[in-house]
């Protein structure tokens, strides 16, 4: 079975061992619990879209392993067009739910990056990681699985290496090597889409040297593997999201999780790196190029929804779109800068010898620096257009509107060019998109903008540009970088 419907996907989650907690409570059924159902429903929508007459081409692709049509997040992007479809899918997904569908993103990217890196490792070390990965990839495709990607370690003191931390568990590491596999332990944090995932791809959180080889591991584990506990994080609008009224968005919701690996055994067939530190940086490099090119599409998709939310608020307040057109146009420009820079990175990329297509690193990292900036301006404009009720803390709760004593007065107080309930719903969405849980990790999702700037600095051809400028100016005298005094 290469394709699953949303319902079949939900069924696969129901069969898993419950190991996800929130509010110190074990979630028995992830597909129906108020804490998790929104995210699962939005991932299920992507499964259903794979059968959509009009848009299936975005959500599916031809498998490089079998030639069959599979979910896009189960296939290897081999061309610029394939990667651009990744961007189109992400923008489409955000347009649907206003937020991230983690279980069709980072884990998929991790698996495709390992496709390339395992081939490089096998060449140097004579290992058989690529064959293992190929079998795993086939398993993922055959079972139409959703994957989360765990890169970020808890890290501990940021100025120290993993091996120097007072608690080795700050980074997931190899505790024991056995003949039939490895035992891993430690913490991965802020991992998106865990509740919607069947499997988790775990890779190193950084590029490391020999002293850190215990931290250089790449594995695939079932989300419900023995020894793993997942704790879902709290968000500003959480309690509202979990109730039935209009305080909660009607589609989507994002969930991050902390992963506690407490001596988890991973059999050899699911181990794709175990100590080959020289290649840990390659995983991060390829991953960042793919992810940071595509994240422009995520924020553009959410920006599209913000434009819609701002227009609805203006109209609900009795003002026409025209009043705010200049601001709305700026929102559209911000969206397209992020989307377009990502597409540019994809077009300027190249195919790795393994077949994986990798976007251009310089443009992808430039995009990340702007993803950490422009959506925030878009959020400011959304609030500006909407008025105070879209800022946090300015609308009574759904429950108060139900009050026999004063509910009717609240409806009347919020009435403007539309009825009180419609205006309140519109404001709640604007609030959720700008200061609530709808924020798709613009700043740190996919890594910090400062990290991206370091790559831009490293890849920019400063000396070539200085030489060009000298030639154009006709300079024959010596102009050199001053020596350190």
Ligand X SMILES: Cc1cc2nc3c(=O)[nH]c(=O)nc-3n(C[C@H](O)[C@H](O)[C@H](O)COP(=O)(O)OP(=O)(O)OC[C@H]3O[C@@H](n4cnc5c(N)ncnc54)[C@H](O)[C@@H]3O)c2cc1C
Of 102 and 296, nearer to ligand X (C-beta) is: 102
The span of 36-44, 87-95, 119-127, 189-197 binding ligand X (CB under 6 A) equals: 189-197
* Number of C-beta neighbours around residue 277 at 10 A: 18
Cα–Cα distance for residue pair 223/234, rounded to 1 Å = 20
**Closest separation between CB of residue 158 and ligand X, Å?**
4
216 CB-contact burial (10 Å; exposed 0-12 / middle 13-18 / buried 19+): buried
Cα–Cα distance for residue pair 122/132, rounded to 1 Å = 11
**Closest separation between CB of residue 414 and ligand X, Å?**
31
Give the DSSP H or E segment for 219.
strand 217-222
Contact residue for ligand X among 49, 80, 182, 192 (CB under 6 A):
192
Cα–Cα distance for residue pair 183/203, rounded to 1 Å = 15
**Closest separation between CB of residue 237 and ligand X, Å?**
14
Of 159 and 476, nearer to ligand X (C-beta) is: 159
**Closest separation between CB of residue 443 and ligand X, Å?**
7
**What's the count of helices (H) and strands (E) in the chain, helices before strands?**
16, 14
Of 198 and 256, nearer to ligand X (C-beta) is: 256
Of 74 and 104, nearer to ligand X (C-beta) is: 104
Cα–Cα distance for residue pair 348/362, rounded to 1 Å = 10
Could you tell me the sign of the dihedral formed by the alpha carbons of 125, 131, 133, 136, in that order?
Answer: negative
**Whether the Cβ atoms of residue 289 and residue 456 lie closer than 8 Å to each other:** no
The span of 5-13, 65-73, 146-154, 171-179 binding ligand X (CB under 6 A) equals: 146-154
Of 43 and 313, nearer to ligand X (C-beta) is: 43
Contacting residues for 157 by C-beta, under 8 A, at least 6 apart: 164, 165, 166
The span of 147-155, 231-239, 296-304, 385-393 binding ligand X (CB under 6 A) equals: 147-155
Of 71 and 101, nearer to ligand X (C-beta) is: 101
**Whether the Cβ atoms of residue 162 and residue 169 lie closer than 8 Å to each other:** no
Cα–Cα distance for residue pair 330/340, rounded to 1 Å = 15
Q: Is 476 a binder of ligand X (CB under 6 A)?
A: no
Question: Interface mask (CB under 6 A) for ligand X, residues 148-177, using x and -?
Answer: -xxxx--x--xx------------------
Cα–Cα distance for residue pair 93/49, rounded to 1 Å = 10
Q: Is 249 a binder of ligand X (CB under 6 A)?
A: no
The tokens describing 195, both together, are: 């509740």
Contact residue for ligand X among 143, 190, 233, 422 (CB under 6 A):
190
Cα–Cα distance for residue pair 217/192, rounded to 1 Å = 20
Give phi and psi for 38, each to the nearest 5: -60, -45
Q: Is 44 a binder of ligand X (CB under 6 A)?
A: no
Question: Interface mask (CB under 6 A) for ligand X, residues 429-448, using x and -?
Answer: ------------x--xx-xx
The span of 186-194, 225-233, 417-425, 471-479 binding ligand X (CB under 6 A) equals: 186-194
Cα–Cα distance for residue pair 225/148, rounded to 1 Å = 14
Cα–Cα distance for residue pair 182/219, rounded to 1 Å = 10
Q: Is 450 a binder of ligand X (CB under 6 A)?
A: yes
Q: Is 451 a binder of ligand X (CB under 6 A)?
A: yes
Q: Is 229 a binder of ligand X (CB under 6 A)?
A: no
Helices (H), 233-279: 238-241
Nearest-CB residue to ligand X?
Answer: 441
Question: Interface mask (CB under 6 A) for ligand X, residues 80-119, using x and -?
Answer: ----------------------x---x-------------
Of 204 and 359, nearer to ligand X (C-beta) is: 204
Cα–Cα distance for residue pair 269/139, rounded to 1 Å = 12
**Closest separation between CB of residue 152 and ligand X, Å?**
4
Of 70 and 151, nearer to ligand X (C-beta) is: 151
What does the binding site for ligand X look like in residue numbers (CB under 6 A)?
102, 106, 149-152, 155, 158-159, 190-192, 256, 441, 444-445, 447-448, 450-451
């Amino acid at each position: 079975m290469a394709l699953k419907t949303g319902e079949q996907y939900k069924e696969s989650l129901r069969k898993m061992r419950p190991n996800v907690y929130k509010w110190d409570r074990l979630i028995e059924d992830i597909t129906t619990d108020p804490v998790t159902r929104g995210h699962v429903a939005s991932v299920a929508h992507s499964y259903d879209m794979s059968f959509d007459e009009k848009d299936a081409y975005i959500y599916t692709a031809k498998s490089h392993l079998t030639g069959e049509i599979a979910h896009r997040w189960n296939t290897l992007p081999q061309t610029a067009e394939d990667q651009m479809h990744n961007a189109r899918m992400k923008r489409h997904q955000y347009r649907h739910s206003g937020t991230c569908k983690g279980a069709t993103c980072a884990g998929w990217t991790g698996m495709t990056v390992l496709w390339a890196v395992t081939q490089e490792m096998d060449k140097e070390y004579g290992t058989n990681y690529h064959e293992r990965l190929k079998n795993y990839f086939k398993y993922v495709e055959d079972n139409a699985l959703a994957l989360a990607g765990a890169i970020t370690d808890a890290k501990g003191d940021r100025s120290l290496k993993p091996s120097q931390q007072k608690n080795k568990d700050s980074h997931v590491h190899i505790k024991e090597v056995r003949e039939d596999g490895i035992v891993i332990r430690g913490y991965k944090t802020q991992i998106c889409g865990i509740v919607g995932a069947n499997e988790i791809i775990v890779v190193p959180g950084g590029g490391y040297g020999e002293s850190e080889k215990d931290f250089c591991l790449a594995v695939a584990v079932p989300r419900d593997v023995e020894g793993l506990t997942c704790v879902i994080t709290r968000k500003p609008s959480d309690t509202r999201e979990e109730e039935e009224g209009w305080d909660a968005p009607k589609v989507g919701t994002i969930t991050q999780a902390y992963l506690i690996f407490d001596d988890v055994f991973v059999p050899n067939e699911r181990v794709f790196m175990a100590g080959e530190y020289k290649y840990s940086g390659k995983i991060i490099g390829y991953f960042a190029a793919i992810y940071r090119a595509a994240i422009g599409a995520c924020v553009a998709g959410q920006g599209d929804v913000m434009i819609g939310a701002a227009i609805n608020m203006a109209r609900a307040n009795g003002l026409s779109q025209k009043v705010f057109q200049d601001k709305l146009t700026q929102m559209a420009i911000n969206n397209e800068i992020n989307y377009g820079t990502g597409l540019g990175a994809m077009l300027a990329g190249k195919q790795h010898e393994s077949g994986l297509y990798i976007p251009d690193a310089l443009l992808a990292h430039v995009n990340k620096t702007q993803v950490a900036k422009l959506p925030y301006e878009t959020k400011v404009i959304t609030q500006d257009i909407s008025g105070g009720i879209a800022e946090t803390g300015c609308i009574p709760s759904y429950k108060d509107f139900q009050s026999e004593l004063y509910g009717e007065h609240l409806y009347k107080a919020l009435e403007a060019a539309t009825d009180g309930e419609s205006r309140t719903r519109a404001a709640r969405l604007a609030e959720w998109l700008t200061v609530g849980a709808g924020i798709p990790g613009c700043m740190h999702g996919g890594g910090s903008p400062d990290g991206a700037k370091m790559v831009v600095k490293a890849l920019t051809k400063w000396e070539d540009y200085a030489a060009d400028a000298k030639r154009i100016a006709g300079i024959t005298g010596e102009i050199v970088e001053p020596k350190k005094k």
